Structure 1
Amino acid sequence: MPRIELQTNIKAKKEIVFDLSRSIDLHKISTEHTNEKAIAGKTSGLIEMHESVTWRAKHFGIYQNLTSKITAFESPKYFADEMQQGIFKAFKHEHHFSEINGTTTMIDIFDYKSPLGILGKLADELFLKKYMTDLLIERNRIVKDFAESERWKEILL
């Protein structure tokens, strides 16, 4: 099972970074390039424990739906979302937050299983892991940009 681990340091309060990370509205902004839209479940605002969202996005030229659910939640330290339905066999995305001297460290741990057996494993090696890593890096860049400026107020207030 491939694993992606990212660490992002953000000069903002942990509570702001935590809430931006679970914002459906900010997620839409960070995935504009895939034309991602929340089409069912929680479709705006801050997602909470046991809530789910179904996303529709274009990846590799094909529109796909993916439903994920919040399965763990300890504000403002940690939350996890897991795929309920979608193209992957499975995925779990853990979000960890800690703060020291006004800087929040956000750690993403993204574990996934590709479909299609050996073909999926080949896709992981050739392009899928990099593609998923790039999506997460872009998402984190947007979280950082909003958290370190006054733009977080556009989302959270």
Structure 2
Amino acid sequence: MHRLEARQFLPISKEKAWEFISNPANLQLITPPEMKFNILAGADKPLYAGQIIHYRVSPLPFYRTSWTTEITQVEPGEYFIDNQLRGPYSLWHHKHFIYETTAGVLMEDVIDYQLPLGLIGRLLNRMFVKKQLRAIFNFRKESLQQRYGTLEGQPASLTFKTL
């Protein structure tokens, strides 16, 4: 089992942050274009527990796959959790949090994930998947900074752990 933790400070209100991250259609705006991320269904309503969202994504050149997630928990303005139902991981559990700060918000993502194929999956994580997830979250950080600005002295962080 692996864990990715990403934190980013933004100079916006908690309400504005929630408005952006709770709209499933915005995921396409903060995903690198080379992943050819496309929402197929389920993103046409505001976020709610039980919502099923279907995507197509290209995690590798010349390889496209389907990905289905379920929004399992929502606390409006605070957090939501999604789990992969079908896709490239054997487990994907993604928690999205927003914390108010004196200068804006701290947005935090905690992702627990596991790849299929045992030892081969662990090698793929070390050689490829970790790098790709780092690139995705760096793109996300830059996209959000372009959209909302940055907070001086409040760096973003990205850490990986094996659980």
C-alpha distance in 2 between matches for 1:26 and 1:146: 12
Contact 1:23 1:46 (C-alpha < 8 Å) held by counterparts: yes
Amino acid at match of 1:13: S
Q: Which residue of 2 aligns with 1:92?
A: 93
Moved more, 63-72 or 12-21: 12-21
Listed as ranges, the matches of 1:134-145 within 5 Å are 134-145=135-146
| CA deviation string 1:61-117 (max 9, x = no partner) | 200110011111111111111101111101011111111224100111011010111
Q: Which residue of 1 aligns with 2:6?
A: 6
Query: Aligned-pair distance for 1:35?
Result: 1.3
Identity percentage of aligned residues: 22
Superposition RMSD in Å: 1.8
Listed as ranges, the matches of 1:31-110 within 5 Å are 31=31, 32-40=33-41, 42-44=42-44, 46-61=46-61, 62-110=63-111
Amino acid at match of 1:113: Q
Amino acid at match of 1:12: I
Q: Which residue of 2 aligns with 1:133?
A: 134
Is residue 20 of structure 1 aligned with residue 1 of structure 2?
no
- Residue correspondences, number: 148
Q: Which residue of 2 aligns with 1:154?
A: none
Deviating beyond 6 angstroms after TM superposition, the runs of 4 or more aligned structure 1 residues are: none
C-alpha distance in 1 between matches for 2:133 and 2:35: 12
Amino acid at match of 1:87: P
Give TM-score, length-normalised by structure 1.
0.86
Give TM-score, length-normalised by structure 2.
0.83
Query: Aligned-pair distance for 1:148?
Result: 4.3
Moved more, 80-89 or 31-40: 31-40
Contact 2:48 2:73 (C-alpha < 8 Å) held by counterparts: no
